[in-house]
């Protein structure tokens, strides 16, 4: 469902994806996010996207339950609101743990704040990651309650579709967004799956939707022993990678050109040719 307010779309503007290798120390993670957001803003980014669970990658999966916040209150949400307002940017807060209906679980929630620090959208991750491969075991359903609503927000930059990490594998989610100009994808892809699947899936979502994709990932070795793939990237609507960062903390920056995007959609009107079954 569309959220936020409709405004004339900017023609050419900069966007940024933040890459981190977060750990269990929330204060340290927020300080690192603050530094990288400031760098992105200084370089002219007007829309900035943080990675999945940027504020905590705990030693155990249950750690995020202990620091879950109620919607609209808590230090992580305050940080996002204040930082967006300080830099006068639209900030996509990666994802954070919000209280779920089940006492032993959280919602993996992606929050969007406008340049005044107002929360204008919230998306709860729908698809929950499960992997049993070699020594790797992940089962997000043990600690996360899935969302059930597709979310698109109207912004000065066009219509923005929200997705998180494992959602990337399900193209029907992006089709359900209808026509979006930008897709944001906070993520923490494992190295095992990411090295084979990450880039091809990110670029595919851009091509099939003729949309810009801002994919902000966790990237590197974490204190808990986990290795995430990184390769945060911004991809244009023709599938070209405009900028990327293979590993470590940093900023990925690129220019969005809405006139170029419109010309591509006029030349290849695939979005109008969709037949839904």
Q: Of residues 105, 110, 165, 191, which has the active-site annotation?
A: 165
Domain count, the chain: 1
* Separation CA 197–CA 259 (nearest Å): 30
Report phi then psi at 184, rounded to 5: -105, 140
Our answer to whether residue 140 is catalytic in this structure is no
Q: Tell me if 253 sits within 8 A of 14, measured CB to CB.
A: yes
In the predicted structure, residue 277 carries a pLDDT above the cut 90: no
Q: Of residues 69, 125, 140, 191, which has the active-site annotation?
A: 125
Indicate whether 1 belongs to any domain. Answer: no
CB-CB neighbours of 274 under 10 Å: 10
Selected residue with higher pLDDT from 270 and 9: 270
pLDDT value, residue 5 = 46
In the predicted structure, residue 75 carries a pLDDT above the cut 70: yes
Q: 250-265, pLDDT tens digit by residue?
A: 999 999 999 999 999 9
**What's the helix, strand, coil split of the chain in %, to 5?**
30, 35, 35
The parent domain of residue 165 ranges over 12-266
Our answer to whether residue 191 is catalytic in this structure is no
pLDDT value, residue 42 = 98
Indicate whether 2 belongs to any domain. Answer: no
In the predicted structure, residue 242 carries a pLDDT above the cut 60: yes
Indicate whether 35 belongs to any domain. Answer: yes
Alpha helices in 97-190 (DSSP H): 171-176
Selected residue with higher pLDDT from 1 and 90: 90
pLDDT value, residue 2 = 43
Q: Output the domain CATH number for residue 124.
A: 3.60.110.10
Our answer to whether residue 110 is catalytic in this structure is no
Q: Of residues 32, 52, 140, 145, which has the active-site annotation?
A: 52
């Amino acid at each position: 469902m569309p959220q936020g307010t409709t405004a004339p779309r900017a023609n050419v503007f900069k966007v940024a994806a933040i890459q981190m290798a977060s750990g269990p120390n929330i204060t340290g993670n927020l300080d690192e996010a603050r530094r990288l957001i400031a760098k992105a803003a200084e370089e002219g980014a007007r829309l900035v996207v943080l990675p999945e669970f940027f504020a905590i990658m705990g030693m155990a999966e249950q750690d995020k339950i202990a620091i879950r916040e109620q919607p609209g209150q808590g230090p992580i949400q305050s940080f996002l609101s204040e930082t967006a307002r300080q830099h006068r940017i639209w900030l996509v807060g990666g994802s954070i743990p919000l209280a779920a209906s089940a006492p032993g679980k959280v919602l993996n929630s992606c929050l969007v704040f406008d340049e005044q620090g107002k929360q204008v959208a919230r998306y709860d991750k729908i698809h929950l990651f499960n992997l049993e491969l070699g020594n790797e075991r992940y089962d997000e359903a043990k600690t996360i309650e899935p969302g059930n609503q597709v979310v698109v927000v109207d912004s000065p930059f066009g219509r923005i579709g929200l997705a998180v990490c494992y959602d990337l594998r399900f193209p029907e989610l992006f089709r359900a967004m209808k026509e979006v100009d930008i897709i944001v994808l906070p993520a923490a892809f494992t190295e095992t799956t990411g090295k084979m699947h990450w880039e091809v899936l990110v670029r595919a979502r851009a091509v099939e939707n003729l949309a810009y994709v801002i994919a902000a990932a966790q990237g590197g070795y974490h204190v808990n022993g986990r290795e995430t793939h990184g390769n945060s990237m911004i991809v244009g609507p023709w599938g070209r990678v405009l900028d990327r960062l293979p590993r470590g903390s940093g900023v990925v920056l690129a220019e969005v050109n809405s006139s170029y995007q419109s010309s591509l959609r006029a030349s290849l009107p695939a979005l109008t040719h969709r037949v839904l079954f």
